[in-house]
Structure 1
């Protein structure tokens, strides 16, 4: 399934120079726009230095846990080659290290899930932008689809761990919505 989906997405390359350039942009340069949007979010939606510090801490810890720790531990033990090395083709841009799981996906989805928790409207935009970046990295030939999926799951896991660490007494459901066990 991973192989078939990769080939389908990869078949989009080479059909038009515009599409190739768009994929390259979304895979390599679009992440800078996501980071810029993050700063806009912090400035427009989060007021007060204590709240901004709390949000920044949540963002930083989620990213450090998912991308900086978990992804690197997995890559230390599991060495999955990138698609362009396995299938012997030239990718749209060079990439080093192992492909599984996607560090970009873990990083940007960790950010996106924090923002989604804070503000659904902005969160949907960040989740969409992160998914677009992940798909572009598959189309460009530097990741398998399962690399991106694993990065998404690790980003969510990182957010959940940090959320429960910073809010140990809170649950996802309010008392009204929670299931009472007696």
Structure 2
């Protein structure tokens, strides 16, 4: 398209994902090894502001709502998709969106498999002052490392950057703000966000070659021949990703409570 910013390309076999992979590995080893100095320093700095102004805390908490966060991010995905007719870029967006969501699933699995990593809200050693509007028992049944929210959102930002640099810059700025908010609220340590973000970016970058696969080409051809159905399903999928499929997860959790006997 005329005036469209050309995004960087990643060739097959590119080593571009090595940096985020290495950062994820280093952060994971340090964080899970009990090294908390930097995390605590940042948390103590941010926590000086919390609990002092109900207006400030509630305004910050409001930014975690889907309409102010992930819905905007997925709207940028739609903008980038319609902003180009380049089949390769659309293929990259398609693969990137799926891989971003996959990174969230991988992150959630890691939360279950790795040693328990309490959130700042529930870390007695941190002496965290809870901001107004945050419930003390929020997410107390889930470990926080790595952040699945960061994995998905940074993966999407990377996807957008590879499709359109200007849109990608806006996306990265938005994602950085939203994850900083989650740190401020005590939902994650900085290392949780950094590791999750690197996981999402690494997965998006390393799977770039799949945009040339027969499956992706078939999906794009199907989009051309079945536009109404394709975009209806795309809308449903994007809405689910924007909400991290909370309704499905809640329903499955309720079913699990009924099926699995309590000890």
Report if TM-score (shorter chain) is over 0.5.
Answer: yes
How far has the Cα of 1:144 moved from its partner? 0.6
How far has the Cα of 1:4 moved from its partner? 1.0
Alignment of structure 1 residues 86-105 onto 2, 5 Å = 86-87=123-124, 90=130, 92-93=134-135, 94-95=138-139, 96-105=141-150
Q: Unmatched 5+ residue regions in structure 1? A: 169-182
Asked whether 1:56 is paired with 2:94, we answer yes
Corresponding residue of 2:155: 110
Asked whether 1:7 is paired with 2:44, we answer yes
Corresponding residue of 1:24: 61
Q: TM-score, normalised by structure 2?
A: 0.56
How far has the Cα of 1:145 moved from its partner? 0.9
Q: Unmatched 5+ residue regions in structure 2? A: 1-37, 214-263
- For residues 145 and 158 of structure 1, the distance between their equivalents in structure 2, rounded to whole angstroms, comes to 20
How far has the Cα of 1:112 moved from its partner? 0.4
- For residues 202 and 188 of structure 2, the distance between their equivalents in structure 1, rounded to whole angstroms, comes to 20
Alignment of structure 1 residues 114-129 onto 2, 5 Å = 114-129=159-174
Corresponding residue of 1:79: 116
Corresponding residue of 1:174: none
- Residue from 127, 143, 161 that aligns with 2:188: 143
- For residues 52 and 24 of structure 1, the distance between their equivalents in structure 2, rounded to whole angstroms, comes to 34
Asked whether 1:33 is paired with 2:72, we answer yes
1:18-55 Cα offsets, whole Å, 9 max, x none, are 32122112233322222233223323x13378864552
Is the Cα–Cα contact under 8 Å of residues 100 and 151 in structure 2 kept in the other structure? no
Is the Cα–Cα contact under 8 Å of residues 89 and 163 in structure 2 kept in the other structure? no
Asked whether 1:159 is paired with 2:190, we answer no
Question: Who wins on radius of gyration, i.e. which is larger?
Answer: 2
Q: TM-score, normalised by structure 1?
A: 0.79
How far has the Cα of 1:67 moved from its partner? 1.4
In the superposition, relative to structure 1, how do residues 33 and 131 fare at CA in structure 2: closer, same or farther (>3 Å)?
same
In the superposition, relative to structure 1, how do residues 34 and 27 fare at CA in structure 2: closer, same or farther (>3 Å)?
same
